Amino acid sequence: MGKPEVISEEPMNMVEVKAELSKIKKRDEELNFRANKTEEYLQQLHLPSKAKAKELYEKLVALEIPRMKDVHIHKIIDILPRTVQDLKVVLQGYTLTVKQDNQKKIVDVINEVMG
């Protein structure tokens, strides 16, 4: 067996991971140990629908917040912070500063899409 090569890397949120795992499961008929554990974990979580996650992603990208990258947006979709304080906690793990008015816009979009 040859050495696997990474062709590309791109961030994904948990909704997308769950969808990819189901595609792999259909294709291969069963998952390996790690993929099974991941699938079990994802089934325990209350995740938004794929359509809502996509809509939220598009709206967050449309805000065009300076220095905010895909990885930050996907983490926000994973956690779904409903307050500015919760959003600050999510973004603390990154070297990213977001202005107060932009934080408010992010939280407003999340609350609008998620209801």
Identify the band that residue 20 occupies on the pLDDT scale cut at 50, 70 and 90: very high
The 8 Å CB, 24+ separation contacts for 69-74 are: 70/10, 70/11, 71/11, 72/96, 74/11, 74/12, 74/13, 74/16
pLDDT on residue 1 = 61
Identify the band that residue 115 occupies on the pLDDT scale cut at 50, 70 and 90: confident
Q: Is the pLDDT of residue 4 over 90?
A: no
Q: What is the CA radius of gyration of the chain?
A: 16
Q: First vs last Cα of the chain: how many Å apart?
A: 49
Identify the band that residue 2 occupies on the pLDDT scale cut at 50, 70 and 90: confident
Q: What is the pTM of this model?
A: 0.86
User: What tokens were used for 64?
Assistant: 């065009």
Query: What does the pLDDT look like over 45-59, one tens digit per residue?
Result: 999 999 999 999 999
Which domains occur in the chain, in start order? 14-44 (no CATH), 50-114 (1.10.150)
